[in-house]
Every structure is written in structure tokens, then in C-alpha cells.
Amino acid sequence: MSFRLHRALAVSWKEALDLRKNPGLLASMLALPAVLVLVPTGVIWSWLRNPDTVTFRSMALYYDPTLPLNADPVRFMIDKLVLDWFGVFLLMPVFVPILISSQSVAGEKERRTLEPLLAAPVSAAELVLGKSLASVVPAVAITWLSFAVFVLAVDAVAWPLVHAPVLPNGMWLFGIGVVAPLFAFLGNGLAVLVSARVGEARLAQQLSALVVLPLMGLVGGQLAGWIRAGTGYYAVQGLVVLVLDILLIRASVRLFDRERLVSRWT
């Protein structure tokens, strides 16, 4: 069956409409960005309210024993927090597509809409692309918008100490522009794959969300000082995720076989 972009876009159009009319899902999608912006901003704000230089210096020396004596430890800790927070921020482009795609794929089974859809002239690749666009585009848009708010909030809070913008920096721009979309495809690919195998949107969501565990582990390694994050580190993460994305898309198209879906789920 030949690939037709208009059919993938039709699937995407329907998914976008459905998403707009699902206030519960929209609220869940916005909760995580709010937390990921407010928490670090609040931490920096509390640090600057009562900057205990001795405590901050000992914390800073833990992460960098070569820290010069004349360096400001609070500024160091702000930079360190901002650097490491990108690893946590990546949860957003992973998690938002999981919320959307679990609903859009397993939800078709739950609502018994799959059979009429599969009886229409739409191929597996068109379905996967249409559903993926409908989850990756909002996820990336939310991530970028949250980044903009995050930059404004951090710079506003840190200004009294730093007197210069902390963000955006090269690493964050690279990460948000290149790595975050790759992570969005990862979350979407996992959710599509899991949804094609399980019968319930909730179960698909729960299983797909397990992907955040290794990401949290990596962030834990950064906080413990075992992993030094930076542009190169996130570029390597991006490359690994790119390979996973390609594998997941291929597997998803194979799993969207009509025979398999119809005989198992309708």
C-alpha cells in the first residue's frame, strides 16, 4: 500500500481534535512542565534569600574540589543546578507523548474505534506517523514553551546575585533544540509500541512510563557527582536515543499490522 501524507495528516488532525477536547489529559500534560519550571526556580530563590556561603562552598567543593577560593559558591551551585536540571527537564518531552500516545492507540481499542479505522484505506505507516505527529508536536511545543518560561524565571530570580542572564546557554539551546525532540520520539515510540500490545490505555501509560527510571538514574548519577554532564554528554544521549527512535518506529509499523490488531483487539 502506497504512503500518502494526506492520510497521515488526517489521522494527526483527528488526534489533535480529540486531544483538545480532553481536559483531563490536557491538565495532566501541563502538570509536569509546571513542576519542572517551578521547582528549580524555587530552589534558586530560596538559596538567594539566605545564602549561607560556608555551606554552599562545602557543597560546591564536593562537586569541584578545584573550585578557586575567589569563586562565588552560590553562583557555582546555581550553574550546577541549571546544568543538571536539563537531565530532569528531558522527562517532559518523554512523558508528554506517553500520555498522548497511550490514549490515542490503546484508546482506539478501548473505545472500539479500531475496526472502522482499519477498514479505511490507511496504511500502518500512515497511522503511526499521524499518531506520532499528534503526540510529538505538542510535546516539543510544550517543552520549548516551558524552556522559555524557565529561562525567564531563572534569570529573574538569579539576577540580584548574577547581574547577567544564567540562561539560555549553548548546552541548553542544543539540548532543547536537538535532544529534546529525539526524546519526544522515544516516549512516543515506546507508548505506540506498548499500546499496540496491551489492551488498556492506563496499562500502556504505566508500562511506557517505566522509561523514566533509567533517566532518573542518570540524573541521580549527576547529583551524586559520578557523571559530569555537559553538551558532549547530552549529545551522546541524543545519539543513543536516535538509534532507539529508529528501531522503535520500525517495530511500531510492524506491530500495526491489521491482521494482528483486528484479531487481537476487536
For another protein, the binding residues (CB under 8 A) are 1-2, 4, 6-7, 9-11, 13-14, 17-18, 21-22, 111-123, 258-259, 262-263, 266
Tell me the closest approach of the beta carbon of residue 122 to another protein, in angstroms: 5
Tell me the closest approach of the beta carbon of residue 136 to another protein, in angstroms: 20
The smaller minimum CB distance to another protein, of residues 2 and 66, is found at: 2
- Among positive and negative, which fits the CA dihedral 164, 166, 167, 173? positive
Question: For residue 208, what are the CA distances in angstroms to 67, 183, 195, 205?
Answer: 41, 13, 9, 5
The smaller minimum CB distance to another protein, of residues 92 and 122, is found at: 122
Question: For residue 43, what are the CA distances in angstroms to 74, 76, 84, 90, 178?
Answer: 12, 14, 13, 19, 27
Q: Residue 166 corresponds to which cell in the numbers above?
A: 544564567
The smaller minimum CB distance to another protein, of residues 70 and 263, is found at: 263
Distance of alpha carbon 54 from alpha carbon 240, whole angstroms: 40
Q: Is there a contact between 26 and 52 (Cβ–Cβ < 8 Å)? A: no
Tell me the closest approach of the beta carbon of residue 9 to another protein, in angstroms: 8
The smaller minimum CB distance to another protein, of residues 9 and 152, is found at: 9
Distance of alpha carbon 264 from alpha carbon 235, whole angstroms: 40
The smaller minimum CB distance to another protein, of residues 228 and 264, is found at: 264
Radius of gyration of the chain (CA): 21
Tell me the closest approach of the beta carbon of residue 14 to another protein, in angstroms: 4
Tell me the closest approach of the beta carbon of residue 115 to another protein, in angstroms: 5
